[in-house]
Amino acid sequence: MMSVRSIMPGPTALAVTLLVAAMNPGGAVAQSSSLDIPFAPTVDSSITDPDNPAKVFRMDLARVEHQFPLSRADLMKITPENLATLSQEQIDQIYGRLTAGPIPDGQYLGDLFFARGESLRTRLEEIVGGIEGRIIGVNVGLLEKVGGLIWKGKEIKRDQRILRNMIEDFAVLGIAVDNPEMVPKPTIPREGPLRRIIPKDEVFLLFPAKIYCGQSLLDARRESVIVDYSYNDDIEGYRKSPDSLAGRGGLRIRDEIRMVRPGLYLGRAYANRAFLLNFTLFNAEVAAGDGPAFARGNAVAEDCWPGEQRRASAIR
């Protein structure tokens, strides 16, 4: 009979599972898209070779943006929920047609999504490697469920260019946190039907990162807002355990985000420069306050370089 010890992940695998779970919530299964906005085709219909009737479309983000521009009305249709119904290629096409917008400020609730299949499992196996990587890959579903319980989003200090992750279920990480009684514990509004019963959630701020404008690893034509965990050990409140897991001695996590519309950002998470998953950040107050003006075509502040290819259609 196989012992409990023989099926448990080793220290590295456990650390990675806790880190990804803490920073990201449960994923959604990709479904057929219900989002009515333009996308470039996924196959090249001009190929008439009977031996190759549907050659895969080679995505060029400059070409996608030129031929299939997104209007303000299109961007207003996008929500965290309908993003989760898209394929990875469609998510990439949206991201490539966005600019960074203003660096966000305040508390943003988070959600993640990725194309199903072997994509996330394979990426985790490659990043961690060996037997521990395979253990993590097999347990992706469990990792997602745990993550959905504890990661609530990010608290961003725009003026300081500092970000921290909001963790709800502290018991999961408590055994691995230095001086847990000293961890900052702000509150966030509870969304959904329990709002009237429990109006606030207490969260814990862990995994600090620095934010700045920098080159996107997907689309180098313009900058994104970068969330960099590599040199987070000089940030106030840093705890070697577990914060170092995200840093240069751990997974070398690097996120990048771009604004879909006020209050909503689309992000991409990388581990050691290998793409890991997608996520969204949403602030309902910003969306309600600035969304109507955005929909009318008002100018948007750009803290990062928007590139030379101007999004002309997006200001209609």
Residue 129 lies in a domain: yes
Return the pLDDT at 44: 65
Domain boundaries, position 216: 9-43+53-297
Q: Give the pLDDT means over successive 10-residue stretches in the chain (316 positions).
A: 36 50 47 78 68 64 93 97 88 96 96 58 57 48 55 93 86 70 80 52 89 96 96 92 86 94 96 86 96 96 88 50
Residue 77 lies in a domain: yes
Return the pLDDT at 55: 58
Considering its fold, how many domains does the chain have in total?
Answer: 1
Strand spans (E) along 240-309? 253-261, 264-271, 274-282
Please provide the distance, in angstroms rounded to a whole number, between the alpha carbons at the two ends of the chain.
Answer: 66
Residue 186 lies in a domain: yes
Residue 304 lies in a domain: no
Angle at 38 between CA 314 and CA 42, to 5 degrees: 135
Residue 313 lies in a domain: no
Residue 302 lies in a domain: no
Return the pLDDT at 139: 47
**C-alpha to C-alpha distances, 257 to 98, 219, 293, 304, nearest whole angstrom:** 10, 12, 22, 11
State how beta strands 200-202 and 187-189 pair: antiparallel
Return the pLDDT at 202: 81
